[in-house]
Every structure is written in structure tokens, then in C-alpha cells.
């Protein structure tokens, strides 16, 4: 029995592959190694995984139905699918909207069709995002909150993916779980995320742009906690009672809003350098605060995030120095 992981060379996907392999799973990884950010980082993540026994890599685009069907066939018997490939980035979606429709809607459909064709599939776990909560001001964000007022196309495509997941669970009884990730950070993280951007700029002595004049709060969630949550969810597919769709959604975050300026201060401390901050208005599509209500996930899976930013940020900076040889 195998697990197929899309986005296997991505930040979260590569860590999940490592964890599944450590559990003795046979893992088939799919990634197109695109150039949204430096493919060298993706290849470096992939090289770490390919050293492990039990891993097979398929270079494919999730919008290519034939290539995805071939990957699924190679992975037979296919026990589960972890679908984390996507076009990420709120700000990028403002300038490149078609990338998001292609990857996050058309790609989601291809993966759902692949799962529909897979005999005996136990569980599909797919990535959603906290961005689906849009401009909601109630904190923390809860699964029961309205999510019909997105403020970025990225958010709209992730919500569309949730609705598609529910539809296929209803029509074809595919046990499915969508995970709304909250500001994931840690070693091997994405260069377009704040942790990496700030660390690189501060290390190089360049100023950093701090939006909303620094009045931002985020539910920074360390990658090890995210992986623990993913594995807990994967092991618990929703039951099919024959009536309701076997589909559910969870928030997965640290359940702790942290001030952006404190977050930056910890990076400064870890680097031993002081940042030059340029205070700017909030960007289109962004929100000043978000953090996760994780009561449902805690109740159903026992998930408890354990890594505070005081511990996680130094770990990231240590990895950054090692990876870049600084």
C-alpha cells in the first residue's frame, strides 16, 4: 500500500514525505519543480527524500490528467493521497490570477478525478488555507465562521477547492479532509514567506518592508507541529454514514496570535543584527490579524502544537545559515 503526495518537493509536502517514510510507508511523490521560487531549493528538498528507501518520484504537473493517472497507477495499491501541490501566495495572485485558476481549481479537479478512479482509496487529505476567512474580524477563526467573502483570488481558489472536495465526497464517497493552514514556517521554508524574506534581508543588511506599520498578528505555526497534525488527520478518515458526505475541514495552526514586530525581533536576536524597518500601509488582499481555533482538530485527533516562536525562529535561522553556508 502506498501514499501519493503531491507537492513533494514543496515546503510542507517534503516534510510530510520524510515523516511518512520514517513510519515505513511507501511514498510516491509528485512535483513539477516549477520556477515560482528558486527550483534549486525544491531540488535540494527532493534530494534529501530520494536518499530514503521507499520513495519514488514522478515529475508531473497536477493539471496533467494523464501524468497523474500514470503516477497513481505506479503507486497501486494506493491507500491515501496527500494533495499539497498548489499555486501559493496571496500577493502573487493579484498579478497572476490565471496561475491560481490553473493549479488550484483545474489541478484540484484532476486530483479528485484521480482519487475517484482509485480502487479502495482510504483517505484524501488536501491543503486549504486560513485565507478563506477573508476579511472576518472575529478571532480566532473557527471552522463554523462564514467563508463567502474572500479578499484575494488565492483565497477564492482555495475555498473553491474545499467545495469541490465536498462535492466529490458526496457524489463518489471519497473520504476527504481539507486542512486550513495558518502561517507555516521552519527549516526548508519558502523564500516568498515572511520568515525567509526577513531573515535574508536582515542578514544582508537590507531594509525590510513592514506592512500595516507593524500592526499585524499571525498564528505562526512551526513545520514539525504541522506535520504531526497532518499525520494525525491522515490516520483518521471521516466515516461514511451513507447520508452525509465523508468530508470535513480543520484549522491547523498554533492557536496563538503573535505580534509581527515580536516575530521580527526574534529573527534579529537569532542573527545578532538589527533590522532597518520601512513601515508601510497594509497590502491589497492581506488581513491585519489571524489565528486558528483548533478545538475541533484537538478533540478529534489529539493535536496539540508544541513549538513557540521563541524556539522555532532560532531553528529556522540555524537552518538558513547552514543551507546558505553563511
Catalytic residues: 154
Helix axes 11-22, 39-50, angle to 10 degrees: 0
**Torsion angles phi and psi, residue 47, rounded to 5:** -60, -35
Compute CA 7 distance to the chain's CA centroid, rounded to the nearest angstrom: 9
DSSP 35-48: SSS-HHHHHHHHHH
Question: How far is it, in rounded angstroms, from Cα 182 to Cα 205?
Answer: 29
DSSP 100-122: HIIIIIIHHHHHHHHHHHSTT--
Which residues pair with residue 56 across a beta bridge? Answer: 28
Q: Are strands 217-218 and 221-222 parallel, antiparallel or unpaired?
A: unpaired
Question: How far is it, in rounded angstroms, from Cα 177 to Cα 125?
Answer: 5
Q: Does the N-terminal peptide bond of residue 77 adopt cis geometry, omega within 30 degrees of 0?
A: yes
Amino acid at each position: 500500500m502506498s501514499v501519493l503526495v503531491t507537492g513533494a518537493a514543496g515546503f510542507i509536502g517534503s516534510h510530510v514525505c520524510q515523516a511518512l517514510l520514517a513510519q515505513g510507508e511507501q511514498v510516491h511523490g509528485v512535483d513539477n519543480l516549477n520556477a515560482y521560487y528558486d527550483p534549486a531549493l525544491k531540488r535540494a528538498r527532493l534530494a534529501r527524500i530520494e536518499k530514503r528507501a521507499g520513495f519514488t518520484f514522478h515529475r508531473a504537473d497536477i493539471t496533467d490528467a494523464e501524468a497523474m493517472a500514470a503516477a497513481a497507477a505506479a503507486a497501486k495499491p494506493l491507500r491515501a493521497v496527500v494533495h499539497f501541490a498548489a499555486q501559493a501566495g496571496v500577493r502573487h495572485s493579484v498579478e497572476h490570477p490565471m496561475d491560481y485558476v490553473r493549479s488550484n481549481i483545474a489541478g484540484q479537479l484532476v486530483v479528485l478525478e484521480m482519487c475517484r478512479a482509485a480502487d479502495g482509496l482510504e483517505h484524501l487529505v488536501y491543503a486549504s488555507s486560513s485565507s478563506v476567512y477573508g476579511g472576518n474580524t472575529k478571532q480566532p477563526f473557527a471552522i463554523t465562521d462564514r467563508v463567502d467573502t474572500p479578499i484575494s483570488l488565492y483565497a477564492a481558489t482555495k475555498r473553491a477547492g474545499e467545495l469541490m472536495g465536498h462535492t466529490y465526497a458526496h457524489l463518489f464517497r471519497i473520504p476527504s479532509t481539507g486542512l486550513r493552514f495558518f502561517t507555516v514556517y521552519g527549516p526548508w521554508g519558502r523564500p516568498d514567506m515572511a520568515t525567509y524574506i526577513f531573515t535574508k534581508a536582515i542578514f544582508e543588511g537590507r531594509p525590510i518592508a513592514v506592512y500595516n506599520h507593524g500592526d499585524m498578528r499571525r498564528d505562526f505555526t512551526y513545520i514539525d507541529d504541522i506535520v504531526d497534525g497532518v499525520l494525525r488527520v491522515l490516520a483518521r478518515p471521516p466515516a461514511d454514514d451513507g447520508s452525509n458526505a465523508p468530508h470535513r475541514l480543520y484549522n491547523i495552526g498554533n492557536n496563538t496570535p503573535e505580534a509581527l514586530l515580536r516575530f521580527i525581533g526574534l529573527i534579529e536576536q537569532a542573527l545578532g543584527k538589527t533590522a532597518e524597518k520601512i513601515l508601510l500601509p497594509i497590502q491589497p488582499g492581506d488581513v491585519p490579524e489571524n489565528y486558528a481555533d483548533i478545538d475541533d482538530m484537538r478533540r478529534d485527533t489529539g493535536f496539540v502544537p508544541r513549538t513557540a516562536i521563541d524556539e522555532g525562529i532560532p531553528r529556522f535561522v540555524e537552518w538558513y545559515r547552514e543551507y546558505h553556508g553563511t
